[in-house]
Amino acid sequence: MADVQTLVDMGFAKEKVEYAIKVTNNKGVEPAMEWLLAHADEEIPTESAPAAASADNTASVVENTENSTDPTTSTGAEAKSLKCDDCGKLCKDQTEVEFHAAKTGHSNFSESTEEKKPLTEEEKKAQLALIEEKLKQKRREREEREKAEALEREKNRIKSGKDMTEARKRMEELEMKKIVDQRKREKAEEKAARERVRAQIEADKAARKAREQNLVESPSPVTSPTLPPATASTSSVRAALKDYTQTRIQIRLRDGSTLTETFNVKEQLSAVRVFIQLKTGDEAPFNLMTSFPRKVFTDEDFEKPLDVLGLVPSAVLIMTK
């Protein structure tokens, strides 16, 4: 197989190389190459040739060669080759006779004293040059084929890259659309939350106003007319309480920042919580406390007014979890 591959790499057809190895009895590369060079223009017999004709020709060749007159007995000369009587071609041995007969269909052969001359150095060089030219031609054809295949692969790669780019672009557009839709939903939810906070504030204000109105309409306590000093004291206390109608509340948020707002002293502590939610947008549950004196406000405290909780005229509240 190595000899066959070597001769194939030199440019000979594989079928012809295998046939040359066979007819030279597997003697190596050089005898096979000499046979191939000597029969470069000939075709090896194929199985497609008519079997009957091939058999008849072979039988005829064998019969003719066996029945031919032996020159050594009739003329005393030694037979050095076999000659085709139909075309005059000299064959070196019986194998070449069979090959020529199978290829051409000729059946008349006879022994000849004419020796088939081997190829001269010039002929061998010419054959080698022809082989080298064939090898170069095959190499060029192979390179052109490889270039064409590489170009086709590159085209397919570019096309695949374009398809990938377009698919990625579509995916990015879909992702961007999802982000925009999500942002719209978040804005709508934030708006709804703000509306809820505003509604809560308005409800708290309405409730506070209703309570203040009920206090105004309720009858004032009866004071004794015989105690003018006490009446004067009560008037001064009411005047003092009237001075503090608003309170200034500072809130320390969980991130360390602060918010400051002025509230009516009659507003509930829940109004402060609603104010914090509105400003920060944070709807997570939280609590409020004072540091000095330390006090954590309960749910009941959030329903009490600021003045009742002692957050007048000013106070600092701390936002806790």
pLDDT value at residue 250: 92
Q: Among 42-46, 51-55, 212-216, 295-299, which range has the highest average pLDDT?
A: 295-299
Q: How far apart are CA 259 and CA 249, in angstroms?
A: 8
The torsion of the CA quartet 269, 274, 280, 283, rounded to 10 degrees, works out to 110
Top-confidence residue, 19 or 112: 19
CA atoms within 13 A on the CB side of 277: 23
pLDDT value at residue 317: 93
pLDDT value at residue 144: 92
DSSP letters, 43-94, are ----TTS-HHHHHHHHHHHHHHHHHS--HHHHTSPPP-EEEETTT--EESSH
DSSP letters, 244-261, are --EEEEEEE-TTS-EEEE
pLDDT value at residue 218: 64
Helices (H), the chain: 2-9, 14-23, 29-38, 51-67, 71-74, 94-104, 121-217, 228-243, 269-280
- In Å, the largest CA–CA distance within the chain is 186
Domains and CATH numbers, the chain: 2-124 (no CATH), 242-321 (3.10.20.90)
Q: Is the pLDDT of residue 233 over 50?
A: no
Three-class SS state of 32: helix
Average pLDDT for the chain: 78
Q: Among 33-47, 110-124, 228-242, 280-294, which range has the highest average pLDDT?
A: 280-294
pLDDT value at residue 32: 84
pTM: 0.29
Top-confidence residue, 234 or 198: 198
Q: How far apart are CA 6 and CA 11, in angstroms?
A: 9
Q: Is the pLDDT of residue 49 over 50?
A: no
Asked if 110 and 82 count as a contact pair (C-beta separation under 8 A), the reply is: yes
DSSP letters, 287-305, are EEEEETTEEE--TTGGGSB
Residue 320: its H or E element: strand 314-320
Q: Is the pLDDT of residue 51 over 60?
A: no
DSSP state of 284: S
The token duo for 303 is 């329903």
pLDDT value at residue 146: 92
The torsion of the CA quartet 131, 132, 133, 138, rounded to 10 degrees, works out to 90
Mean pLDDT of 189-211: 88
Q: Is the pLDDT of residue 290 over 90?
A: yes
Q: Among 4-18, 228-242, 273-287, 306-320, which range has the highest average pLDDT?
A: 306-320
Q: How far apart are CA 132 and CA 55, in angstroms?
A: 37
